[in-house]
Structure 1
Amino acid sequence: MVLDKQGYDELVMYLTQNLALFEKPGEVKPGAPTVMELIEDVIAENVIRICEQHSELNTEQRSLIVREVDGIVYDLQEVLSSVTEQRVTVEQHEFIEEFAGLVKNMFDSAV
C-alpha cells in the first residue's frame, strides 16, 4: 500500500536527515514518555483516525494498514534503536508528531 512507494522512501530520508535531533540533549518535560512509547502512541492514534475517516475500508484493508504501520514502527525502532528507551525531548516530540502526520497523509492518499 505505502511501504513500496517512493513517498515512503522519501519519508525515511526525512527521518535520516533529522537524526541529529535524537543525538543531542534537549529539554525533557517531567513525565515525558520514552521515544518508543511516544512513537507507538502517536502512530496508533493516527491509525485510528485513518480507519475512522475512511469508514468504507473493509477488514482486509484495515488489516493491511495495520501490517504496514507495524513495518513502519519496526523501521523506526531499528533506526532509533540507540535512543528508544530515552525520555523524549520537546524537539523530538514535535518531530515524532510531524512524522506520524506524514505517515497518516501517505495512507490517506493511498486510500
Structure 2
Amino acid sequence: MVIDTDGYVHVIEYLTEHLSLFENSSVTNSSNDSVMAVIEQELSEQIIMVCNQNEQLSFNQRNIIIREVDAIVYDLEEILSGVINNPVTEQQKTFLKEFALLIKNLFDTEVHAGTTE
C-alpha cells in the first residue's frame, strides 16, 4: 500500500536528508520523552485521524494500515537506531510531527485512490 510507493521512498529520503537534527543533539528542554515515544505518539495520532476521516474503511483495510505503520516504525527504528532512546529535543519533535503528517498524506492518497484492498 504505502511502503511500496515512490512517495514513501521520498519521505524516507527526506528523513535521511535531515539526520543531522538527530546527531550530537543536546536536550535543552525538560521533556522526558524519547525520540521513539514521539515517533509512536505522532504516527498514532495521524493514523487515528486517517481512520476517523475515512469511516468507510473496512476492518481488514484498517488492519492493513496498522501493519503498514508497524513497518514504518520498524524502518524508523533502523534509520534512527543510534538515537531512538535519547531524549527528544524541541527541534526533533517539530520535525517528527511534520514527518508524521507526510506519512498521513501518503495514507490519505492511497485511501482516496482505493488501493487499500
TM-score with structure 2 setting the length: 0.91
Displacement of 1:27 in angstroms is 4.2
The answer to whether the 8 A contact 2:27-2:89 is kept is: yes
CA distance in structure 1 between the partners assigned to 2:28 and 2:62 by the alignment:
35
SS, match of residue 78 in structure 1: helix
Map of 1:33 onto structure 2: 33
Helix, strand or coil at the partner of 1:25: coil
Alignment correspondent of 1:94 = 94
Asked whether the equivalents of residues 28 and 88 of structure 1 are also in contact (C-alpha less than 8 Å), the reply is no
Aligned match of 1:63: 63
Residue 54 of structure 1 is matched in structure 2 by: 54
Contact 2:46–2:100 under 8 Å retained in 1: yes
CA–CA distance in structure 2, aligned partners of residues 56 and 28 of structure 1: 44
Percent identity among equivalent residues? 45
Name the residue aligned to 2:114: none
Distance in 2 (alpha carbons) for counterparts of 1:83 and 1:27: 12
CA contact 1:28–1:87 (8 Å) conserved in 2: no
Question: Would the aligned equivalents of 2:31 and 2:88 in 1 still touch at CA under 8 Å?
Answer: no
Return 5+ residue gaps in structure 1 as ranges: none
Give 1:11's aligned residue: 11
Name structure 2 gaps, 5 residues minimum.
Answer: 112-117
Shift of 1:24: 2.7
Structure 1 residue 24 and structure 2 residue 24: aligned? yes
Q: Distance in 1 between matches of 2:56 and 2:29?
A: 40
CA distance in 1, matches of 2:56, 2:2: 18
Q: Counterparts of 1:28 and 1:75 in 2: how far apart (Å)?
A: 27
Q: Is the 8 A contact 1:51 1:62 kept in 2?
A: yes
Q: Deviations over 1:63-101 (max 9, x none)?
A: 000000100000000000000110001110010000000
- Alpha-carbon RMSD across the aligned residues, in angstroms, is 0.9
Give the letter for the 1:100 counterpart.
Answer: A
